[in-house]
A and B are shown apart, each in its own frame.
Chain A
């Protein structure tokens, strides 16, 4: 075996292997906790506040991840039907319904049993988070803490530290974090330890650096990871292990792997013909097949807004100042969660820049029935993108949970036509 090949075997593919293992380990720990009658903090990917909750040794449960796992594992329909029989409309978020069914069945989940909540922390990054929290409030009579993060008021109107508007927003966020600390102390009986928070923020910083670094490394040609498939594995670790030593190390290792792949020109498929951006939420009911519909044509997703907002905005790379942990946590939460919201509401200009930075051939918009937060503005966003830049785009609708609104044949027709157009365009541009 040559030295290079040995290195490949040790490094290339490591992030996917380790990510899957960490993920299984995380679910196993949740299962053990549930079996022992322990409770967890229910949180969401946009503003989980995992950094703070870890100070109080509160394990985190991400109901969004639980729900999407039911779709990936092809049992979502059982959960959706259960919730609809209970009274929920077919027209509401599939994630909510899958979780309702899970809770009503005592935490039953294909990855293991899910512990009950001791409290729930939700931001306003998605309004459905708040309605979702009300369900737990009614079912478990637990404290539901809404952390309100003021978003960007208008396109291009972001404010930054030092601006009066930003400082007013930061004070609001910090006051709420203080309230959350008091609530966590009450629930756990553990006193707040600022040095523990400092340590956790340090681990989070390592993760944030790694996440941003990995995203930037995918500008290389060929792309070193698929933003839709591989990226979702990294996202799982980013959320479940945020603020932990394992999480920080995982992302340092990820950067090492991606640097190695860049240096050796190692891509994700045999021949990368079309570099694509994915906008929206993945089609989890046919997750692998959905990607194949693109990869069969040599299409690779090199970037996505999903990797921005579903990481809670850490793509922006805000690192906590360990000399003033609480103030910095408020500042970082405001900046990062606000950016996650911007990736959904005000993304048109960012997409044009992304297309330039990543040398993109096309943009795939995938609005879904289940998620109005992400999907409502996509058609107009596409119109604005097409008006401002000469970038081909595809608009396909399906769902992240509900197979009843996923038509593989229709998707394939649209995707095939898109690639035929991309191929013709490439020939025209080459003067053939």
Chain B
């Protein structure tokens, strides 16, 4: 069997929704990345890429597994000494995954999303012999030359990935991968539509776990899983409750622990969010016809979401958040930031001012992927929700 066809998930066909959700939660909290291990046992190669966005189609087309590196719930025992203080957790736990041998890669790619993340390419490169690099996604998204530049950058990446794969990546293979990823993005959009329109059918932690599984397996398998679970979600017997509808903002890079999302789900309906926004960055189908790399570049720039780590004059972030709140029919926002995350913390100030001006209630908080105590934040969220509901 071709390794691309190997099932990386435990058997899920014909299982009830609750079992699949439990499997998804277990997988995303497992620091040993069992799906990646299965892939490697089949002699598959892995390209790890750090948050936020990465053109996975290029790696997928080479027959490799693109793995989103987004930290993990584990203690950074080896990597902590390689970093200074005052840094976010995701940097340390991501490197820890590699140093501890939990995740083995053939290549690592980071991006200039923030001052800390761009250092990661050099640090990783000094500690491992495989290629480690920075993919310079354009930071001047408004330059008329940005798409051409990015197309060239993707071509450079393609050649580096070909060297790892030991074979060329054809345009047709790229087009095939774009098609698979288009389907995946459509299915994730459906998942989010359910969450937005009937949030009582799908809690934020459940949607998150189902979405995140895509970053741990080949997308064909994720597509098949989503095709299977979406009707099960629709058929769920649940009734709307008297809860406020909120947007959660601040999950674009380091991820809040699943338990924190569960806490939110107990008190409010999270009807939209930016959790793992890189998986949903491109908002429309990328055309299959024409130059696939050019298409990927154009859609990254012109048909995409927003985040605090991209400056684009067409996407003023406060307005984008307000749009997200309005489109989701939310009445409030949770504006979070990972501890020590400079872009997230900077953005909190601008978001808060805009929400004040617009009279949208909001709750500001910080989180860390490894936080273990949630009592305090649960009380705060309950109080916040009650204030809106009853006053």
Count of interface residues, chain A, beta-carbon cutoff 8 Å: 56
Contact at A176–B112, with CB atoms within 8 Å? no
Residues of chain A from 373 to 397 with CB closer than 8 A to chain B in the complex = 373, 375-381, 383-384, 397
A185 CB–B CB distance under 8 Å: no
Contact at A131–B349, with CB atoms within 8 Å? no
A285 CB–B CB distance under 8 Å: no
- Specify which of A96, A147, A369, A383 is in contact with B86 (CB 8 Å cutoff): A369
B115 CB–A CB distance under 8 Å: yes
- Specify which of B83, B142, B345 is in contact with A376 (CB 8 Å cutoff): B83
In the complex, A177 Cα to B362 Cα: how many Å?
41
B113 CB–A CB distance under 8 Å: yes
- Specify which of B81, B318, B345, B346 is in contact with A379 (CB 8 Å cutoff): B81
Contact at A380–B136, with CB atoms within 8 Å? no
In the complex, A148 Cα to B112 Cα: how many Å?
11
- Specify which of B139, B152, B313, B318 is in contact with A148 (CB 8 Å cutoff): B139
Contact at B84–A175, with CB atoms within 8 Å? no
A190 CB–B CB distance under 8 Å: no
Q: Residue-by-residue, is B197-224 near A (CB-CB < 8 Å gives 1, otherwise 0)? A: 0000000000000000000000000000
Q: Residue-by-residue, is A73-97 near B (CB-CB < 8 Å gives 1, otherwise 0)? A: 0000000000000111101110010
A418 CB–B CB distance under 8 Å: no
Q: A128-B115, A179-B144, A376-B119 are in contact. Are A148 and B84 (CB under 8 A)?
A: no
Chain B residue at minimal CB-CB distance from A373: B115
Residues of chain A from 172 to 211 with CB closer than 8 A to chain B in the complex = 172, 175-176, 179
Contact at A131–B342, with CB atoms within 8 Å? yes
Contact at A375–B136, with CB atoms within 8 Å? no
A252 CB–B CB distance under 8 Å: no
Q: A154-B121, A172-B149 are in contact. Are A93 and B342 (CB under 8 A)?
A: yes
A151 CB–B CB distance under 8 Å: yes
A404 CB–B CB distance under 8 Å: no
Residues of chain B from 143 to 186 with CB closer than 8 A to chain A in the complex = 143-146, 148-149, 152-153, 156
Contact at A130–B139, with CB atoms within 8 Å? yes
Q: A154-B121, A372-B116 are in contact. Are A380 and B139 (CB under 8 A)?
A: no
In the complex, A191 Cα to B82 Cα: how many Å?
51
A306 CB–B CB distance under 8 Å: no
Count of interface residues, chain B, beta-carbon cutoff 8 Å: 60
In the complex, A175 Cα to B140 Cα: how many Å?
11
Residues from chain B with Cβ under 8 Å of A168 in the complex = 149, 152
In the complex, A152 Cα to B353 Cα: how many Å?
37
Residues from chain B with Cβ under 8 Å of A144 in the complex = 311, 313
Contact at A380–B82, with CB atoms within 8 Å? yes
Q: Residue-by-residue, is B340-363 near A (CB-CB < 8 Å gives 1, otherwise 0)? A: 101101111110110000000000
- Specify which of A176, A344, A379, A384 is in contact with B143 (CB 8 Å cutoff): A176
Contact at B143–A172, with CB atoms within 8 Å? yes
Residues from chain A with Cβ under 8 Å of B112 in the complex = 124, 127, 151
Contact at A155–B126, with CB atoms within 8 Å? yes
- Min CB–CB distance A138 → chain B (angstroms): 6
Q: Residue-by-residue, is A85-129 near B (CB-CB < 8 Å gives 1, otherwise 0)? A: 011110111001000000000000000000000000000101110
Known: A89-B348, A91-B86, A377-B119. 13 other contacts (CB 8 A): A87-B352, A88-B349, A89-B337, A91-B339, A93-B342, A128-B115, A138-B350, A150-B149, A154-B125, A168-B149, A176-B143, A372-B87, A372-B119
Residues of B within 8 A of A (CB): 81-87, 91, 112-116, 118-123, 125-127, 131-136, 138-140, 142-146, 148-149, 152-153, 156, 308-309, 311, 313, 317-318, 337, 339-340, 342-343, 345-350, 352-353
Name 18 interchain pairs, CB-CB below 8 A, sorted by A. Answer: A87-B348, A88-B349, A89-B348, A124-B140, A131-B308, A131-B346, A134-B317, A144-B313, A146-B142, A148-B139, A154-B132, A171-B148, A175-B144, A376-B83, A376-B87, A377-B123, A379-B81, A397-B84
Residues of A within 8 A of B (CB): 86-89, 91-93, 96, 124, 126-128, 130-131, 133-135, 138, 144, 146-148, 150-155, 157, 165, 168-169, 171-172, 175-176, 179, 344-346, 348, 367, 369, 371-373, 375-381, 383-384, 397
